[in-house]
Chains A and B, each alone.
Chain A
Amino acid sequence: MSWNLSRVVVENLGGILGRRSFEFKSTVNYIKGASAAGKTSLVRAIVWGLTGAWGLKGDYQVKMGNEADLSTLLNRGSKQGSIEIAIDKKDKTLVIKREIIRRGATCKLGRCELKIISDKSEEIIQGFQQVNDKLKSELEIPYLDLAYHIIFNGEHDLLLTVLPEGATLRNYLATCFGISRYEKAWSYLGEVERDLRREYEDYRDKAEERKEASVLLEDRQRLIEKLNSERTEKMRELNDIKSQLDSMSSQLRKLDELHNQITSLEKRINDKLSRLREIMFKIQARDEDSRKERSVIEKLNKQLQDVNQHLERNRRDLNNLVDNISNLEIERNSIRKELDELIGRRDHVEEELRLLKELRERKDRLTQLESEIRNLKSELSGMQRRYHECELELKMKNKNLSKKQAALLAIENVFSWIADSPSACPVCKRAWDEELRVRSIERLNPERRRYESEVRKLKENVNTLEKELAALDNEIRDINNRISRLEWEREHQKQELSELERKMTHRAIEELNGELISLKQEIRVKTERLKEIESNLANLNAQKVELEEEIRRLERDKVGIESEIAHSHRNLERYISEISRLRLDQQAIEHEVSDLQQRLEVIRSGYDLEKHQTLMNNYQRLIKDETRLRTEVTRIEKDLETYSREVEEIRDQALEYKMFREKAAKYGDAVRLMEFVRGVIRGVAETLRDEIREIVSEDVLNFLHALGFNRIERVEIDERYRIKVQLDGIELNLDTLCEGIRNAIGIGMKLSSAKFQNFIPRLICLDGCLRLDPSKIRALIDLLMKMGVTNILITEREVTPRIRIASD
């Protein structure tokens, strides 16, 4: 069903500022106006208003809704823009309203509304998707995105001459002809296939990992079955042995009891006998000990006797020694007394002799002192004379020095006058006679030097004399001191001498010396005797100490021997009592042994040892068999337990193996199916490409012929999607063709695509792409109208400042 554009109201879209309304009256409408008057803006606005699409993505998909390049649609300085398209159909009118709102740097879709007005009713549809869905059915445009490609052939995205950035004809055609969906499906299903393959490999690996468990499970189950039957057989054998052992054990118990009784009695008899042997051995040992103890006592008694004899002899010696010592001590005391008297007399004589000697020495010293005092006094008088002489000389030198110093001062004064008053005499105030002044100075200079030298010498003499006087004074003082000291000593000696003379007995020295010699001799004799006595006493005292020590030692020995004798006596008594007790025990045990031997004989008569041995051997053999069987059963049960545990452990894995194997099979089938599907899709895409190249080449050639380009003999799209045109027998590339033919080829390709899709749009926009002569334009319009296009918009540039719509 055909439809026609009747009215378009555009507000602030593209180059159209403000609100403008355009009326469309026939099938073909020319949009005319000056350059930049807004022709293309109007066409774009109409395309956007009809489809809601504007712009292409990198993969040639159309940008729809808010994804569309709305900012290129809206007027740059406007915050809001809109379009209102009125379309007339047979019995109703469609009014499409779309709005763009600028928000900051971005533009968003505003109100979107479709009003369907009929005679009877008015329907309003709102919302982008709802409006588009309704438009698809009302305008018979099943694919709005495809319609975008076909109905618009604008100047700036002119097919073949200006494609979107990065676009190729190959992919553009693939998109237009719908091959892309097969290629995309092939690619995307590749991902699905990889996922399926990954999962298949995963399940396969998991199954492989568990395969061993499955095999092992079967093996273990077989082994468990075998071990169970083996265990049953062993258990049966074990039960037989058990019944045999039960019957044997009662017989064995009786025989064991008898055997135990015999063994017990034998053991008791043996114990008693061994005890008896022990007692006899002890008795013998005690007898021996008694003998030894008696001999010890005898030996100790003898030792005691010897010690007593020694002790008595030593005590006698000690008494004699004590008597000797007391006699010697009496003699020593009398000699000491005599010696003391002799020493006193000798000391007295020696004192008298010492006093005599001292008296003589003091007299000598007194004489010496008198002589020294005399000498010092004569020396003092010499010194005093010398002092007076020096004193006189000093006075004289001082006097002379004063005179010389006065003369020198007078000369110095004359010099200072002459120096201080160079022009006139300071006394008489008369001017100096220069010659006289010089002569005076020359005459006075030697005088001054002589006086200066004499004064210096006199000063030195005075100093020397003063020092000598001081030294003499010191010496005189020193001699005076020494004289007074010696005089004091002389007086002292005199006093001492008178004292000594008073003490003296006036005996002669010779007499005193003779008495002293005889006293000394007597003292020597007495001293030697005293030393002898002292030595004897020391010897005797040492002997006494030794004897006393010996006596103490002998007494200690005596006490020790006596205690040893008492100890041996006690031991002897203890041995004798022990021997009598042991003899009583021996008799009692001998009696018990004879009783036990009688009882043993009675029990032995009722016991067969050979029979007991045989039965025992048989029993042991059966016990061994039972142990062996039990070990085997235990081993089997252990193995069974191990295998059962293994089975439990791997059972889950074995089950998982089955599950994963099934899954792997299923996913393997899925992978193969996917490979197959992808192979088919790839084949379809490749076939379509080949077909489409042929179809498009043929359709474009027919289209060019229909427009009147009859000189073009062939149009070909090669495998690399290069377009080649044969014109008048010459093969040309697209670039070498004129713009009109290029545009015609582009339009032809789009129409071919539309035909392929079974979709010829009712509106075709030719925006600045017709550089054809009027006959060809007319032919194109006729062709399009024949194909069912009911709206053709063609933009044309002219001098008119504002755009206007002109009907054909």
Chain B
Amino acid sequence: MAEEILREKLREEVEGLSHEEEDELLNLINRLIELSILREKRRCKELVLEFIESSGGKFRGHFR
């Protein structure tokens, strides 16, 4: 159920995402949640920065 709510929220926040992009973001959020529970701050930052680099700025337009 939480997963469904998460996907629903994602769709509400960002419009025009492809299915793959949606999965990418969901994966990122879930991994961030797991790392937060483990209190891995450095890994959280690395994950976000890697995501920014690997996405090549394709999400930039969605978050502005």
Contact = CB atoms under 8 A, between A and B. Distances in A.
B52 A670 contact: yes
A277 B41 CA distance: 109
Interface in A667-690: 667, 669-670, 672-677, 679-681, 683-684, 687-688
Given A679-B13, A680-B10, A669 B57 contact: yes
Contacts of B5: 684, 687-688, 691
Interface string B33-64: 10011010100110011011100010110111
Majority secondary structure, B binding face: helix
Nearest to B37: A181
Nearest to A692: B1
Interface stretch (A138-146, A187-195, A344-352): A187-195
Majority secondary structure, A binding face: helix
B59 A673 contact: yes
Nearest to B41: A192
B12 interface: yes
Interface residues of B, number: 31
Given A192-B45, A691-B1, A677 B32 contact: yes
Nearest to B50: A670
A517 to B, nearest CB: 159
B12 A196 contact: no
A189 B62 CA distance: 20
B33 A181 contact: yes
A61 to B, nearest CB: 11
Contacts of A683: 9, 12-13
Interface string B2-38: 1001101110111000000000000011001100110
A529 interface: no
A672 B13 CA distance: 13
A199 to B, nearest CB: 8
A451 interface: no
A196 to B, nearest CB: 6
Interface string A659-671: 0000000110110
Given A184-B36, A189-B36, A670 B49 contact: yes
A678 to B, nearest CB: 9
A386 to B, nearest CB: 152
Most chain A CB atoms below 10 A, which of B9, B13, B60:
B9
A188 B39 contact: yes
A803 to B, nearest CB: 40
B36 A670 contact: no
A669 B45 contact: no
Contacts of B29: 677, 680-681
Contacts of A679: 13
A48 interface: no
B44 A192 contact: yes
Interface of A: 178, 181-182, 184-185, 188-189, 191-192, 195-196, 666-667, 669-670, 672-677, 679-681, 683-684, 687-688, 691, 756
18 contacts: A185-B32, A185-B33, A191-B41, A192-B36, A192-B44, A669-B57, A669-B60, A670-B48, A670-B52, A673-B48, A673-B63, A675-B63, A677-B29, A680-B13, A680-B29, A687-B5, A688-B2, A691-B5
Interface of B: 1-2, 5-6, 8-10, 12-14, 28-29, 32-33, 36-37, 39, 41, 44-45, 48-49, 51-53, 57, 59-60, 62-64
Given A670-B52, A687-B9, 5 more contacts: A181-B37, A189-B44, A192-B44, A673-B63, A683-B13
